[in-house]
């Protein structure tokens, strides 16, 4: 395999052989290893010493089901620690089929006003001046790039908010219909990408299959994974995710009293039904021309959790996810589905992470900038972010910054990253994940919601602390491995309950890499990735005090269960022992 190294200081591009040490790695394993090895932990995230690594998973570009994830790794401008965020997109599949396991972007152009585009085709890899796309919204940019380079190209790009170098921004990848709707969203990876002077990377469409060393073993593994995904109630065709999207969780979490509402002041939202997956499915059924449930973010996904929501005017919005409905909806006291969908599309266009934006607006609402429920006011704030006005820059920098500016004590963040859509005072395992993951508060880092709320992969009482550190650690380690395979994290639902599915995933990886891993080895690989990331954070200056919940969660009981965060700090620290 090869990788592409792009030096933005001298504008050079090199195609290099992948050193032996990294040969079997992919996705998060590869991004976190390169960042840990090549980036000084104490460097400024927006400076020339930081790097941005983009890596498809081990199985990306093959016919393994739901395996088209692409990881973006860097030192995070939001947390100051190591970061990996991933998205499902054809971009990574093409890259892998072309024989590239990563793109490493380093340095910084002398002229900070210049913009560049990296064009990757089968014939050559070249950096091209791209000043004409400066501060362009991503829907327009993707249209222009598809018109110039071909309608099926893969695109990675950053919006105006990232060009303003705001820490609440992500990297957008185009979906099958060329919409910039698939986000490596969290941790400010968009700002790190933009700080390199890059506006976009375009990769030529490539059909076929990435290199596989053992076709027979690959087929055996692929079929086992596919069978598990097609059998499990959550992932199967017409299953929960395929029918209602991730938004199937809105009503479930509301009923559990764990849907954070109005800046984490309550666990239930009276408007939940209006912003639920069921409500979106009803709208999509009424307008199938503009709406669609079961959309797939990349070719080869067999789960299809993505939603194209049609608003009352018949405009399509892709993809309206649970986290977005919660962040901009319940957490801001907004129950207008059309307004949330509009803001979702605006965030995609501007380049903002919808979770961080929703957390930031909710904190601003608590700080008195606008009232809870004010959808029009929130939309106006997005326009401020697009323009890069001072207020927009504050909002686009995330909820921790907003909390400081507006003197708000109730800021739901860990390591400066805003919490996602699950109340940790009520669901303790996900709380351990938010608090201890090297990523900053992140549900995907160790999704213990599966056994704590959904009864998948075992059953745990969400309200108790017992066993939750081990539960979170096991989920975090396994997730590190899954994030390295290129498989969507939602495959975890099936492989947790159907062991042959996990065996199949590991066998398919062995077939691609020539390794001989067992499922236990996969866990150990995941644990080592986690330790590498933790070590980077320690070298960056983090201490055990960064693995702590926000103070208000220990002091303020959250209704309706009236629970506080009551796990001892020493118990949290035991995760690293």
Candidates 35-43, 187-195, 216-224, 295-303 — which segment interacts with ligand SF4 by CB under 6 A?
295-303
3-state secondary structure at position 494: helix
Nearer to ligand SF4, 88 or 550 (CB): 88
User: Contact with ligand SF4 (CB under 6 A): which of 35, 305, 340, 378?
Assistant: 305
- 306 burial level (CB within 10 Å; 0-12, 13-18, 19+): buried
186 Cβ contact partners less than 8 Å away, ≥ 6 residues apart: 78, 83, 85, 170, 353, 355, 356, 417, 439, 440, 442
Q: How many CB atoms lie within 10 A of CB 528?
A: 15
Nearer to ligand SF4, 133 or 490 (CB): 490
301 binds ligand SF4 (CB under 6 A): yes
Candidates 16-24, 269-277, 294-302, 445-453 — which segment interacts with ligand SF4 by CB under 6 A?
294-302
User: Contact with ligand SF4 (CB under 6 A): which of 27, 73, 81, 88?
Assistant: 88
The 3-state secondary structure of 495-523 reads: HHHCHHHHHHHHHHHHHHHCCCCCHHHHH
Closest CA to 355 of 267, 307, 421: 421
296 binds ligand SF4 (CB under 6 A): yes
297 binds ligand SF4 (CB under 6 A): yes
Nearer to ligand SF4, 233 or 380 (CB): 233
Least distance in Å: CB of 245 to ligand SF4? 8
Closest CA to 450 of 425, 436, 433: 433
Nearer to ligand SF4, 385 or 508 (CB): 508
Q: What gap in Å lies between CA 305 and CA 493, rounded to an integer?
A: 13
Long-range pairs of 367-373 with CB within 8 A, sequence gap ≥ 24: 367/402, 367/403, 367/405, 367/406, 367/407, 367/408, 368/406, 369/406, 372/262, 372/263, 372/332, 372/333, 373/332, 373/333, 373/334, 373/335
269 binds ligand SF4 (CB under 6 A): no
Nearer to ligand SF4, 259 or 293 (CB): 293
86 binds ligand SF4 (CB under 6 A): no
342 binds ligand SF4 (CB under 6 A): no
Nearer to ligand SF4, 106 or 321 (CB): 321
Sign of the torsion formed by the C-alpha atoms of 125, 127, 132 and 138: positive
Least distance in Å: CB of 43 to ligand SF4? 32
Nearer to ligand SF4, 303 or 482 (CB): 303
303 binds ligand SF4 (CB under 6 A): yes
Candidates 103-111, 112-120, 297-305, 462-470 — which segment interacts with ligand SF4 by CB under 6 A?
297-305
Least distance in Å: CB of 274 to ligand SF4? 23
82 binds ligand SF4 (CB under 6 A): no
Binding mask 94-113 for ligand SF4 (x = CB under 6 A): --------------------
3-state secondary structure at position 126: strand
Closest CA to 299 of 190, 207, 395: 207
Binding mask 46-75 for ligand SF4 (x = CB under 6 A): --------------------x---------
348 binds ligand SF4 (CB under 6 A): no
Nearer to ligand SF4, 56 or 398 (CB): 56
Least distance in Å: CB of 303 to ligand SF4? 4
Site for ligand SF4 in 438-497 (CB under 6 A): 488, 490
Closest CA to 495 of 503, 484, 486: 503
Asked whether the beta carbons of 256 and 550 are under 8 A apart, the reply is no
Taking each helix axis from N to C end, the angle separating 337-350 and 277-286, rounded to the nearest 10 degrees, works out to: 90
Residue at token pair 């939602």: 490
**Judged by CB under 6 A, how many residues of this single chain contact ligand SF4?**
11
Least distance in Å: CB of 83 to ligand SF4? 19
Sign of the torsion formed by the C-alpha atoms of 83, 524, 101 and 305: negative
Least distance in Å: CB of 491 to ligand SF4? 8
Nearer to ligand SF4, 281 or 381 (CB): 281
Length of the chain equals 577
Residues lying near ligand SF4 in the complex (CB under 6 A) are found at 66, 88, 296-297, 301, 303-306, 488, 490
């Amino acid at each position: 395999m090869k990788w592409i190294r792009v030096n933005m200081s001298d504008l050079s591009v090199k195609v290099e052989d992948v050193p032996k040490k990294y040969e079997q790695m992919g996705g998060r394993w590869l991004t976190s290893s390169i960042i840990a090895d090549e980036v000084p932990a104490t460097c400024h995230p927006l400076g020339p010493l930081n790097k941005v690594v983009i890596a498809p998973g081990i199985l990306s570009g093959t016919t393994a089901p739901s395996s088209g994830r692409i990881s973006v790794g860097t030192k995070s401008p939001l947390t100051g620690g190591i970061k990996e965020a991933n998205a499902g997109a054809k971009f990574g599949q093409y890259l892998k089929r072309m024989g590239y396991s990563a793109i490493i972007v380093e340095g910084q152009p002398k002229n900070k006003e210049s913009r560049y585009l990296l064009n990757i085709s089968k014939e050559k890899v070249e950096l091209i001046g791209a000043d004409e796309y400066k501060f362009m919204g991503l829907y327009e940019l993707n249209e222009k790039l598809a018109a110039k380079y071909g309608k099926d190209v893969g695109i990675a790009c950053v919006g105006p908010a990232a060009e303003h170098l705001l820490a609440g921004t992500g990297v957008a990848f185009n979906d099958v219909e060329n919409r910039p709707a698939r986000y490596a969203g969290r941790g400010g990876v968009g700002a790190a990408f933009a700080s390199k002077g890059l506006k976009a990377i375009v990769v030529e469409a490539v059909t076929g299959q990435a290199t596989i060393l053992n076709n027979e073993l690959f087929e055996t593994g692929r079929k086992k994974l596919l069978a598990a995904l097609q059998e499990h109630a959550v992932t199967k065709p017409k299953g929960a995710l395929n029918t209602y999207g991730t938004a199937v969780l809105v009503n479930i979490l509301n009923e559990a009293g764990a849907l954070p509402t109005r800046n984490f002041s309550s666990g239930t939202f009276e408007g939940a039904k209006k912003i639920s997956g069921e409500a979106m499915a009803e709208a999509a059924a009424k307008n199938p021309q503009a709406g669609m449930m079961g959309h797939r973010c990349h070719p080869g996904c067999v789960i299809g959790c993505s939603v194209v929501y049609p608003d009352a005017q018949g405009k399509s919005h892709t993809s309206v996810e649970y986290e977005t409905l919660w962040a901009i909806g319940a957490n801001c006291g907004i129950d207008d589905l059309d307004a949330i969908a509009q803001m979702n599309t605006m965030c995609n266009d501007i380049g903002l992470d919808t979770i961080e934006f929703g957390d930031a607006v909710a904190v601003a609402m608590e700080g008195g900038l606008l009232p809870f429920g004010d959808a029009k006011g929130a939309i106006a704030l997005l326009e401020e972010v697009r323009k890069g006005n001072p207020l927009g820059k504050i909002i686009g920098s995330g909820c921790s910054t907003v909390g400081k500016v507006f003197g708000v004590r109730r800021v739901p963040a860990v390591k400066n990253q805003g919490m996602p859509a699950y109340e940790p005072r009520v669901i303790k395992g996900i709380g351990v994940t938010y608090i201890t993951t090297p990523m900053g508060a992140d549900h995907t880092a160790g999704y213990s919601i599966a056994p704590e709320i959904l009864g998948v992969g075992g059953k745990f009482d969400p309200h108790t602390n017992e066993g939750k550190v081990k539960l979170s650690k096991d989920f975090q380690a396994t997730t590190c491995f899954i994030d390295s395979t290129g498989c969507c994290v939602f495959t975890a639902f099936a492989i947790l309950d159907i062991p042959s599915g996990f065996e199949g995933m590991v066998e398919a990886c062995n077939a691609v890499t020539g390794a001989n891993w067992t499922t236990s080895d996969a866990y150990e690989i995941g644990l080592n990735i986690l330790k590498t990331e933790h070590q980077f954070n320690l070298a960056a200056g983090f201490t055990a005090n960064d693995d702590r919940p926000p103070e208000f969660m220990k002091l303020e009981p959250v209704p309706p269960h009236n629970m506080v965060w009551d796990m001892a700090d020493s118990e949290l620290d035991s995760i690293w022992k």
